[in-house]
Structure 1
Amino acid sequence: MTDERDQHEQPEPTEKTEQTMSDDQNTDQHDDDQTNADQTNAETTDQTTADADDNAETDTETKDAATPMPIDIVYDDEEDAPADAADAGHRPALDQTDALIASFLGTDAPKDAAGAKPVSAEKPAEAAPVIMASRIDREITDADSTVFATYPTLAFKRVEVAAKQGGSPFPEPLDLAFYDRRVYVVTVSSEAQRMALMGLLTGMTRPAGGHVMFKSKDMQELTGTEYRSHYVGLMLQRNTLRADLSAIDNVTNAMEASGRNFLKPKHIIAEELLQRVGLPSELHETRVAKLPEIHRRRVALAKALCCEPAAVIADDPVAGVDEPVRGQLLGVLKQVARKENKTVVIVTTDASLASVADKTYAL
């Protein structure tokens, strides 16, 4: 009986053993798979780490290449070395700057780090220019007395003239100012005054005292030839035209004598000037000796304008001519002042010319 039972019970351990072996094999296989996966992950991690290290080294090399090498500067004296902006030596200058900005912004000046908060904490620094511009705009608009002054073309500042016989033709020093785009009439009471004033205006006479100014420059700094050839045009009482030359030749001769360079041919400029002062084109080639007085005065004015002067000095330009001619010549002088931005100064003994002037000086 015992043997039979043993025979019946013998196969059961075999099945359990096979199951156990199968489980062990599965476990071993799982362990192998897990080990292989771990090895693969480890290799991947190592490769990623290596790549990251390579990239880090590359970035470091790039930064090193882009960063300039520091240069050590050694100063012999401490005074030569530039101070740091945060240095105590710069603090007063920074405080002044902060105070200036604060004054424009309408805030209190900032104190030190332990004091009041900085201006930028209340209003952005970038708003400062806009606020300053707005404030200046408002102040200029509100100030009715604001005047933007310009230099006069010609000016006499306490000018004194000494006469040859002693004394002076003028009872007191001259203070005169002549601006562009205006016609001035200066009336004189004697021939001595006329000669003295024309000498000062043309640069032929130096003042005994005071200053004759051309714009911002003292006349003493200019030579007489430079002044008369480049800055003023003269329309003198004495006829300075050559009667044997044509109207156009009188103008071109004056241009050549000035020594100036011109952008266009001289004869073209001369023709344009004669046309502007009202001389008919058919008379441009006519000799001055054959021209009527009105046209001679026109040629004289064209000659005065040929070197593009800033001022025209006219010595009694309508003396000895009848009324229609006077009106025409004075009209041309006014056009020269207005349209060509010239200063026109008329020196005369005729007080009636004051009617055509923007300003009159009576000496």
Structure 2
Amino acid sequence: MDSVEFSVVIDDIDADTAAAKADDTAATPADTPDHEVAHADAATSTSSRIDRELRGRRHVALKAYPAFAFNNIILKNRKTGRNVLDNISFDCYNGRTVAIMVDPEDPEQRVGFMAVASGMLYPTSGRVMLKSNDLASFDPSEARAHRLGVVPQQYAIRDDLDAIGNLVYTMDASGRNFLRSKVDIARDLLDQTGFGDGSEQAVENYEALVHTPAGKLREIDRRRLAIARAICCEAQILLLDEPTGGLEAGDASSILTLLTQLARPNRKTADTGRCVIIVTDSEDVADRCDDVFALYD
């Protein structure tokens, strides 16, 4: 459950408290000892105050921790002395898609960001936060096996395994226990990510498609499979590096639509939603996201 910070702002209650106290005094028997009357007055006054605060004279502000955050991150190239990431801070929340804009002329910046954000590399200074926890406090394999679902540009899936095999392999490697059959979970995830949509092979023989080696799949289905693999261990944060790169416009749009759907909570399926972070140098991709943070001026 998210940590939640409550602040209650109360105003203008003195008159009500005084009125309540007067009513309580009038109702007190004349032969009651003075110290008991004083104690009863104090208790009743406090009770009346709390009751009025809770009933209508309050403003409650709820503030949740970000699902993912960079806090003053600096990553220095020790050979050149250059700050690849220079005092970067931003917050990302569950239920939203976030574009992290990288400089297209600076591949080192992209690689550095992905390495730090995924826990593969510690920053020179600053903290990467998963809700209220420092990413550095987790074992890297634990973070990527469950908390973070990472989709790199290359090697996101195994070409020698079919779609179901890729997902089952990832679930096995996580070391986690699953309440349902991994094959059943894999099939549900393929459905959820639209695997095979628009494919003639899927229409003719879906079973043959899901058992086709990933290396022989259409590029759009490879991307959908990579996304399914990233969430198969229930990761609540998705980190993707150019998930639409190299795709035709229609396919790129469908991937961005899918990522938006995965971010949003869904009451019908009891899906609580996710924080989806897209690393990109494309303004078109950024325009489709809820929030945009640039790593360069």
**Common fold by TM > 0.5:** yes
* Selected match of 1:360 from 271, 292, 295: 292
Q: Is the 8 A contact 1:248 1:285 kept in 2?
A: yes
Percent identical pairs in the alignment equals 31
Q: CA deviation at 1:126?
A: 6.0
> Cα distance 1:267–1:306, how it changes in 2: closer, same or farther (>3 A)?
same
Answer yes or no: is 1:186 the counterpart of 2:100: yes
> Cα distance 1:116–1:264, how it changes in 2: closer, same or farther (>3 A)?
closer
1:57-86 CA-partner distances (Å, limit 9, x unpaired): xxxxxxxxxxxxxxxxxxxxxxxxxxxxxx
Aligned-pair RMSD on alpha carbons? 2.6
1:239 corresponding residue in structure 2? 155
Q: CA deviation at 1:115?
A: 8.5
Q: Is the 8 A contact 1:185 1:345 kept in 2?
A: yes
Unaligned runs of 5+ in 2: 1-13, 23-32, 197-205
- Tell me the TM-score normalized by structure 2: 0.78
1:94 corresponding residue in structure 2? none
Q: CA deviation at 1:127?
A: 7.7
Higher relative contact order (CA 8 A, sep 6+): 2
Answer yes or no: is 1:216 the counterpart of 2:132: yes
1:100-155 CA-partner distances (Å, limit 9, x unpaired): xx9994459xxxx878951525x8x4685354132244332xx4xx5310011111
1:1-363 mapped onto 2 (5 Å cutoff): 105-106=17-18, 118=38, 120=40, 125=43, 128-129=46-47, 131-140=49-58, 143=59, 146-164=60-78, 165-170=80-85, 172-189=86-103, 190-280=106-196, 281-282=206-207, 283-338=209-264, 339=266, 340=271, 341-363=273-295
CA distance in 2, matches of 1:242, 1:347: 22
Q: Which moved more, 1:215-224 or 1:266-275?
A: 215-224
More helix per residue: 1 or 2?
1
Q: Is the 8 A contact 2:236 2:274 kept in 1?
A: yes
Q: Is the 8 A contact 2:101 2:280 kept in 1?
A: yes
| Residue identity matched to 1:324 | G
Larger CA Rg, structure 1 vs 2:
1
Q: CA deviation at 1:220?
A: 2.0
1:11 corresponding residue in structure 2? none
Unaligned runs of 5+ in 1: 1-101
> Which secondary structure does the structure 1 equivalent of 2:177 belong to?
coil
> Cα distance 1:137–1:160, how it changes in 2: closer, same or farther (>3 A)?
farther
> Which secondary structure does the structure 2 equivalent of 1:210 belong to?
strand
CA distance in 2, matches of 1:167, 1:289: 39
1:163-218 CA-partner distances (Å, limit 9, x unpaired): 13212023x41111111000000100021111111011100111111111111011
Q: Is the 8 A contact 1:153 1:178 kept in 2?
A: yes
Moved over 6 A (4+): 113-116
Q: Which moved more, 1:319-328 or 1:331-340?
A: 331-340
> Cα distance 1:137–1:212, how it changes in 2: closer, same or farther (>3 A)?
farther
CA distance in 2, matches of 1:289, 1:115: 85
More strand per residue: 1 or 2?
2
